Amino acid sequence: MEKLFDLDYMLKSLPRIVEYLPVTLWIALLSMLLGSIIGLATALIRIYKVPVLAQLSTLYVSYIRGTPLIVQLFLVYYGIPKFLYFFQSEYGFLQQLNIYVIPPEIFALLSFSLNLGGYLSETFRAAINSVDRGQFEAANSIGMSQTQIMLKIVLPQALTVALPNLGNTLISTVKDTSFIFMIGVVDMMGQAKIMGARALAFFEVYVAVSLIYWLVCIIIERGLVVLEKRIRIYERSE
């Protein structure tokens, strides 16, 4: 008689799925870092209305926010090798690069970074615009440059305002990494699919991987709460 749920297999699958947790975390964390850099740069370009770049940045943000992440992942995975091959064959560029051995993790990292850059640009733009304009005027009156004002006055306050949204984005990114198995990256979700196919126990391994994602997101959430409290305490003590 077939079991409704094989608890023993689920428990055995947990440590084998956890082995791939570092893959999930490094892609999520590194893409979050790169996405934050892209997002901040895009936000500043739009705030200061840099000619041409501001219009391109608006188009970039609109495209990222208006298309699914999975589509962007496939566009990067299939599109970049196609462009590289074209430039190699037509113009002789990057002949030393073997596009067929580029790890799929690189494409996953790039697509996630670009996706996060589009969303985080709006987070940073709103946070920077929330800083009291009087502080800009006061800093200008004492001779501070625009760069000094941004680095020493605006960004520290803006990052505090943006922290809750940054935390939510990080949690979402950890969960969204489950897509990367579709381009050949074996992470936790990929390992769960492999184990489920081998034993025909998909339900059990999906329950197992869901519990791991849940626990990881709880830990991240608790860590962010502690960080936010420490920042608030530091602000009040100033």
From CA 220, how far away is CA 227, in angstroms rounded?
Answer: 10
SS3 state of residue 88: helix
Over pLDDT 90: what percentage of the chain? 61
**Of 159, 130, 141, the residue nearest 224 (C-alpha):** 159
Judgement on whether residues 122 and 45 belong to the same structural domain of the protein: yes
pLDDT of 83-118, one tens digit each? 888 887 777 676 777 777 889 999 999 999 999 999
* pLDDT band per the 50, 70, 90 thresholds, residue 238: low
From CA 222, how far away is CA 83, in angstroms rounded?
Answer: 43
* pLDDT band per the 50, 70, 90 thresholds, residue 218: very high
Judgement on whether residues 63 and 142 belong to the same structural domain of the protein: yes
What is the CATH number for 138?
Answer: 1.10.3720.10
Judgement on whether residues 38 and 98 belong to the same structural domain of the protein: yes
Ranges of beta strands (E only) in 19-75 are none
The mean per-residue pLDDT over the stretch 145-169 comes to 84
Judgement on whether residues 210 and 131 belong to the same structural domain of the protein: no
Domain of residue 142 covers 26-179
Judgement on whether residues 165 and 51 belong to the same structural domain of the protein: yes
From CA 210, how far away is CA 193, in angstroms rounded?
Answer: 12
The model carries a pTM of 0.89
Over pLDDT 70: what percentage of the chain? 95
